[in-house]
């Protein structure tokens, strides 16, 4: 059985780029057959079992001449011997009671939510892995799709093709294939398409139509959407953060057939156009005024040292000082030091848009006076950005939702940070993949109705899980269509900098903090209230936090009081971890490593799980720029796709089309004239002959 695996065999199975599973576990032979006809891998979901599943299996066998797959969680109802001849692939759920060995002669792909499961699947004889990220519907693990896919692909022991499930759309699918993955799994994305919709449970279409990706929760290890007003204990549909894509796919493609082709073509187009967009002298670096389109994101209690900013800047990137909740005096001190250390090089400040008005006003007064070249406002609004832009400070806004992005674009904002929930520090509601897919869809729509050249006004920073060649190559691919139109694209990193020698030598963090992130095998989310969560590596403090939270819940402490209690618990913990300092009686005192470890909060993102060695700022920057370009080039080579001859992100041209005039038979206006001139039409006919004139022909 040929099993595609780009990295080992170099085979490129185009039909495997899109695995289309009948959505919401409703078996649908129509969906399967349509996906197969479109040249994808159609998979009939048989996990529900029963007569309907058996009937659909018989129909899929009849309608899918090229062969298809089935999804199973056990082999009771459909043992291998009863699978029809055209079933060549079996997908096993992550909690399946059967193993690949139960399906001899079939290609078996196993769904996994983490690395341990992947290793078990490998030893059980799996031919491939479906990486179900934290944002997928149904069973989920800890890591977001973007990071889980990276983790599985980076492990040389796991020499298996990997598909991504969770947040997959046309843009992120390109990222997966660019990063070394085999393709993506579409499921809920297909639910509103013609072939699927009729078979869905009542109310599902209405539910899906209203989603924006922020409505899901994880209950007992499974991601679901709980309908408003649904009775307690009623089963909740297993829909992921990518549920919003169902409406998007319906609007864009209408049918499963068109969607499968559309996603596959988008992947191939993006790969063909993906150039070295993150390299020196790219649109991103020109826009930032730096050598590289790389940004060191603001990090509270970490990026507050001029010396560290100077290291980042000295190696070509744009450093940000985090102002956090500093008062005017402290703000002035750090900004003046940074200005003095960096001279004319660009640098920025990170402002918390949601900070107390008084604190923010005091900080902004100093910022306007000292005028760093850039600012990032987390939780900020376009008016706040405009106020800084007005004094010459190039200002980015964090935009955590597609709804906000639409509003911000309409308000004239053009510089954005898209930071997925894999990041360190405060996290938004969406993982990187669903967030990036949603935001790129919004930008596609916006540009479709905007005047020419608007794409070149955009400056986009992708953040949350970026740290090396592969991850940056993935960003390059997903942003390739926008880069090709002139948008300035860059990567913004936080956690990866915690691994640099300079983070310690320049005083950003103490050695113990760095040792903690290097040793990290998992991260914890400290959620004080819905929407208020910070990501940290596991430590004695995160255990304490979990215990206190559990105790508050057990005592039925009201929400507001519990939130205040947990916020209070967090106060001062980050400084204790990063700088080994605590405030007592209005003064800062040093604490020893023992207390630092026992009580500190080691804020970091999921990248901490992927990295295990110290690096340097120079090497980090090289890996996400020239390294990413090299990775992508090698990948395109392995796939047999030629690199674009011209580097992406051309400068916008000042050319205006001022008129078009021509007349062809059968073409009443200019737009259809292209169609009229296509080789399959013969635009030639007899001229109506006024009485008394000779006959002639026009072409």
Ligand X SMILES: Cc1cc2nc3c(=O)[nH]c(=O)nc-3n(C[C@H](O)[C@H](O)[C@H](O)COP(=O)(O)O)c2cc1C
| Residues between 156 and 185 that touch ligand X (CB under 6 A) | none
Q: C-beta of 301: minimal distance to ligand X in Å?
A: 7
Among residues 17 and 377, whose Cβ is nearest to ligand X?
Answer: 377
Helices (H), 305-380: 306-314, 328-342, 357-370
Q: Structure tokens of 643? A: 């690199």
Question: Least distance to ligand X from the beta carbon of 399, Å?
Answer: 12
Sign of the dihedral through C-alpha 370, 374, 379, 382: positive
What is the smallest separation between the CB atom of 328 and ligand X, expressed in angstroms?
Answer: 18
Residue from 440, 443, 475, 603 in contact with ligand X (CB under 6 A): 603
State the Cα–Cα distance between residues 189 and 179, nearest whole angstrom: 22
d(CA 322, CA 334): 10
User: Residue 424, interface with ligand X (CB under 6 A)?
Assistant: yes
Q: Does 494 bind ligand X (CB under 6 A)?
A: yes
Of the candidate residues 166, 465, 486, 490, the single one contacting ligand X (CB under 6 A): 465
Using the rule CB under 6 A, give the single segment among 385-393, 525-533, 604-612, 641-649 that binds ligand X: 604-612
CB-wise, 141 or 428, nearer to ligand X?
428
Of 376, 399, 438, 506, which one interacts with ligand X (CB under 6 A)? 376
For residue 556, with 0-12 CB atoms within 10 Å meaning exposed, 13-18 middle and 19 or more buried, which class applies?
A: exposed
Angle at CA 12, nearest 5°, toward 113 and 101? 45
Is residue 419 a contact residue for ligand X (CB under 6 A)?
Answer: yes
153 belongs to the binding site for ligand X (CB under 6 A): no
- If the CB atoms of residues 182 and 624 are measured against ligand X, the closer one turns out to be 624
Q: Kindly state the smallest distance separating residue 302's Cβ from ligand X, in Å.
A: 5
Query: What is the rounded distance in angstroms from the CA atom of residue 635 to the CA atom of residue 461?
Result: 23
- Within 296-325, which residues bind ligand X (CB under 6 A)? 297-300, 302, 322, 324
Site track 396-415 with ligand X (rule: CB under 6 A), x = hit: --------------------
Indicate if the alpha-carbon torsion angle 314, 315, 316, 317 is positive or negative: negative
Judged by beta carbon, residue 47 or residue 514, the one nearer ligand X is 514
Contact between residue 520 and residue 538 where contact means Cβ atoms under 8 Å apart: yes
- Under the binding rule (CB under 6 A), the answer on residue 624 touching ligand X is no
Q: Which of 620, 642, 621 is nearest to 279 (CA)?
A: 621
607 binds ligand X, rule: CB under 6 A: yes
Number of helices (H), then strands (E), in the chain: 29, 26
Phi-psi region of 586 (alpha: psi -120 to 50; beta: other; left: phi over 0): left
The C-alpha atoms of residue 155 and residue 281 are separated, in whole angstroms, by 33
Beta strands 162-165; 128-132: pairing state: parallel
- In the complex, the smallest distance separating the C-beta of residue 432 from ligand X, rounded to whole angstroms, is 8
Using rule CB under 6 A, residue 422 touches ligand X: yes
The strand pairing partners of 70, in sequence order, are: 44, 90
| Nearest residue to ligand X, scored by beta-carbon proximity | 494
Which candidate, 635, 642, 629, places its Cα nearest to that of 282?
629
Q: Which of 443, 479, 116 is nearest to 275 (CA)?
A: 479
Residue 335: closest CA among 306, 292, 376, 375? 306
Is 458 a binding residue for ligand X by CB under 6 A? The answer is: no
Establish if 378 lies at the interface with ligand X (CB under 6 A): yes
- The β-bridge partners of 164 are 131, 184
Q: What is the DSSP string of 62-109?
A: HH-TT-EEEEES-SSSS-GGGS-TTEEEEEE-TT-SS-GGGSTTSEEE
**Rounded Cα distance, 475 and 629, in Å:** 11
Minimum gap (Å) between residue 323 Cβ and ligand X: 8
Stretch that binds ligand X, among 150-158, 436-444, 584-592, 598-606 (CB under 6 A): 598-606
Minimum CB separation of residue 354 from ligand X in Å reads: 10
Residue 144 makes contact with ligand X by CB under 6 A? no
Stretch that binds ligand X, among 6-14, 157-165, 294-302, 389-397 (CB under 6 A): 294-302
Residue span binding ligand X (CB under 6 A) among the ranges 58-66, 166-174, 464-472, 686-694 = 464-472
Segment interacting with ligand X, rule: CB under 6 A, options 418-426, 450-458, 650-658, 679-687: 418-426
CB of residue 489 to ligand X, shortest distance in Å: 16
Sheet holding 222-225, edge to edge: 138-139, 222-225, 216-219
> What's the token pair of residue 485?
């139109």
| Rounded least distance, CB 508 to ligand X, Å | 9
Segment near ligand X (CB under 6 A); pick from 99-107, 227-235, 310-318, 601-609: 601-609
Nearer CB in complex with ligand X: 215/422: 422
Q: How far is the CB of 463 from ligand X (least distance, A)?
A: 4
| Residues 335-354 within binding reach of ligand X (CB under 6 A) | 350
> Is residue 475 a contact point for ligand X (CB under 6 A)?
no
Q: For residues 296-314, b (16+ Cβ closer than 10 Å) or e, as one string?
A: bbbbbbbbbbbebbbbbbb
Q: Contacts with ligand X: how many residues (CB under 6 A)?
A: 28
Say if residues 311 and 656 touch (Cβ distance below 8 Å): no
Considering the complex, what minimum distance in angstroms separates the CB of residue 425 from ligand X? 3
Residues that bind ligand X (CB under 6 A): 297-300, 302, 322, 324, 350, 376, 378, 419, 422-425, 463-466, 492-496, 603-605, 607
């Amino acid at each position: 059985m040929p099993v595609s695996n780009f990295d080992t065999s170099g085979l490129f199975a185009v039909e495997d780029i899109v695995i289309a599973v009948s959505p919401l576990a409703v078996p649908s032979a129509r969906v399967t057959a349509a996906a197969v006809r479109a040249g994808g891998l159609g998979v009939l979901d048989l996990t529900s079992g029963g007569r309907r599943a058996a009937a659909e299996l018989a129909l899929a066998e009849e309608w899918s001449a090229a062969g298809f797959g089935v999804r199973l969680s056990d082999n009771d109802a459909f043992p291998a011997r009863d699978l029809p001849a055209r079933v060549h692939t079996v997908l096993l759920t992550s909690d399946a009671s059967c193993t690949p060995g139960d399906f001899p002669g079939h290609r078996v792909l196993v769904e996994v939510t983490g690395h341990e499961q992947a290793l078990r699947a490998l030893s059980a004889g799996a031919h491939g892995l479906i990486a179900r990220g934290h944002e997928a519907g149904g069973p989920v693990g800890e890591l977001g799709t973007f990071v889980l896919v990276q983790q599985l692909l980076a492990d040389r022991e796991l020499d298996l093709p990997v598909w991504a499930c969770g947040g997959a759309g046309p843009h992120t699918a390109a990222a997966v294939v660019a990063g070394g993955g085999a393709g993506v799994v579409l499921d809920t994305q297909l639910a509103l398409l013609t072939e699927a919709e009729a078979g869905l449970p009542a109310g599902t279409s209405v539910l899906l139509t209203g989603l924006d990706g922020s409505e899901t929760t994880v209950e007992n290890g499974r991601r679901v959407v709980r309908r408003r007003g649904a009775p307690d204990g009623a089963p909740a549909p297993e829909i992921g953060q990518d549920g919003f894509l169902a409406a998007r796919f319906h609007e864009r493609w209408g049918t499963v057939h068109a969607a499968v082709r559309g996603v596959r073509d988008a992947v191939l187009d993006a790969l063909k156009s993906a150039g070295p967009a993150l390299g020196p002298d790219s649109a991103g670096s020109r826009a930032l005024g730096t050598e590289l389109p790389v940004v060191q994101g603001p990090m509270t209690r970490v990026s507050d040292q001029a010396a560290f900013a100077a290291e980042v800047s000295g190696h070509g990137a744009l450093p940000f000082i985090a102002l956090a909740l500093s008062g005017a005096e402290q703000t002035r001190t750090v900004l003046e030091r940074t200005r003095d250390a960096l001279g004319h090089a660009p640098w920025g400040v990170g402002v918390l848009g949601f900070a107390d008005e008084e604190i923010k006003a005091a900080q902004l007064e100093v910022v306007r006076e000292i005028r760093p070249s850039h600012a990032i406002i987390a939780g900020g609004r376009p008016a706040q950005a405009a106020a800084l832009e007005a004094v010459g400070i190039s200002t980015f806004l964090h935009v955590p939702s597609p709804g906000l992005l639409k509003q911000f674009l309409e308000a004239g904002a053009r510089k954005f940070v898209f930071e997925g929930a894999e990041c360190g520090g405060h996290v938004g509601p969406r993982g990187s993949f669903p967030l990036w897919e949603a935001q790129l869809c919004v930008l596609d729509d916006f540009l479709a109705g905007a005047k020419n050249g608007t794409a070149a006004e955009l400056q986009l920073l992708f953040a949350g899980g970026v740290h090396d060649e592969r991850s940056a190559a993935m960003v390059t691919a997903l942003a390739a269509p926008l880069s090709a139109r002139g948008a300035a694209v860059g990567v913004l990193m936080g956690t990866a900098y915690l691994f640099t020698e300079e983070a310690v030598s320049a005083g950003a963090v103490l050695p113990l903090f760095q040792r903690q992130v290097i040793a990290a095998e998992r991260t914890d989310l400290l959620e004080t209230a819905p929407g208020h969560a910070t990501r940290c590596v596991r430590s004695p403090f995160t255990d304490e936090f979990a215990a206190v939270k559990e105790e508050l819940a057990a005592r039925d402490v009201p929400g507001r009081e519990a939130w205040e209690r947990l916020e209070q618990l967090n106060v001062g913990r980050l400084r204790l971890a990063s700088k080994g300092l605590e405030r007592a009686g209005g003064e800062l005192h040093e604490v020893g490593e023992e207390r630092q470890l026992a009580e500190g909060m080691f804020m970091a993102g999921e990248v901490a799980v992927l990295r295990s060695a110290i690096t340097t700022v120079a090497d980090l920057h090289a890996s996400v720029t020239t390294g990413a370009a090299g990775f992508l080039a090698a990948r395109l080579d392995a796939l047999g796709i030629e690199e674009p001859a011209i580097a992406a992100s051309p400068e916008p041209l000042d050319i205006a089309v001022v008129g078009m005039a021509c007349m062809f038979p059968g073409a009443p206006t200019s737009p259809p004239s292209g169609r009229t001139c296509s080789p399959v039409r013969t635009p030639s006919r007899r001229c109506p002959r006024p009485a008394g004139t000779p006959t002639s022909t026009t072409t």
